[in-house]
Amino acid sequence: MSESDWPASLADSELEELDQYLRAHAEDEHLLLDGVHGLLTSLAIGPVPPKPDEWLAEVLHEPFADAEEGERVLTLLARLNDSVLLEIETGAYEPILGEIDADDGGTAFTSRGWCEGFSRGIDLRAPAWEARLGQDSDLMQHLGPIIALSIEDEVFESDADFAPLSDEEYDECIARIPDSVEAVAGYWRDHPVTDEESRRLGGDDAQPPRRRGGRWVH
């Protein structure tokens, strides 16, 4: 792919436009922009690429006001997905994170929304992820920073007794997300799904997406 053929990343104004649309139509447990980015990331680096209607069902929950709005929102979402793929391919990936009020009166980044979206992407391919996480410690290690953040942000519960992350440890885990994403992408490239895993994901007896109820299954 030549540089002129690369899909353009969304401008800040376009990200803001998409963010405002998602916020205006959000209900409890709906993904906002950071969650959509996490969802698209986990699908991009996971075992089997998704079809658009699979992940769009996790993002859009009501009809568009008109055809013009629909075309615009779908275009922005498609370009966001393209930008995730491009950033991973070129080693330039950075997560889109939310912000919360900090104790000092300023703001701080939070990975909660991104991790929630990431977990939903795993849910869409649960049979392959869960089988590998139960068999291959390397994959679990690659996911280490994301798992730690997910537990800290109460996206997942864990049977193990984990000490809370300090502010410094939390920030360090956030800084390690790009490396974790790259490592997981490399894992699935080097260890593609088996015929049996592919059958379970896409065959006639494929299992529907599973919700973990906030628990990291491994």
CA distance 148 to 205: 33
Q: In terms of Cα–Cα distance, which of 207, 213, 215, 152 is closest to 29?
A: 213
What is the overall mean pLDDT for the chain?
86
CA distance 29 to 106: 26
**Residue 88 included in any domain:** yes
* Residue 42, number of CB atoms within 10 A of its CB: 27
β strands within the chain, DSSP E: 98-101, 107-110
Helix, strand, coil percent values for the chain (each to nearest 5): 60, 5, 35
Q: At what angle do helices 177-190 and 167-175 cross, to 10 degrees?
A: 40
pLDDT tens digits, one per residue of 83-138: 999 999 999 999 999 998 877 778 889 999 999 999 999 999 999 999 899 889 99
| 212 has a pLDDT exceeding 60 | no
SS3 for 218?
A: coil
**Residue 143 included in any domain:** yes
Q: Go through the chain and tell me how many residues it has.
A: 218
Q: What is the pTM of this model?
A: 0.86
How many domains are contained in the chain? 1
**Residue 217 included in any domain:** no
Do β-strands 107-110 and 98-101 pair in parallel, antiparallel, or remain unpaired? antiparallel
**Residue 168 included in any domain:** yes
CA distance 180 to 145: 7
| 205 has a pLDDT exceeding 50 | no
pLDDT, greater one: 127 or 210:
127
- Averaged pLDDT for residues 135-156: 93
**Residue 40 included in any domain:** yes
Q: What is the pLDDT of residue 159?
A: 64
Q: What is the pLDDT of residue 96?
A: 96
**Residue 134 included in any domain:** yes
What are residue 109's DSSP bridge partners? 99
Domain ranges, residue 74 = 3-202
Q: Which CATH number covers residue 60?
A: 1.20.120
Question: DSSP characters for 9-29?
Answer: PPPHHHHHHHHHHHHHT--TT
Element of type H or E holding 126: helix 126-135
- Averaged pLDDT for residues 172-200: 92
DSSP class of residue 100 equals E
* Residue 37, number of CB atoms within 10 A of its CB: 23
| 19 has a pLDDT exceeding 80 | yes
**Residue 30 included in any domain:** yes
**Residue 207 included in any domain:** no
Q: What is the pLDDT of residue 5?
A: 46
Radius of gyration of the chain (CA): 17
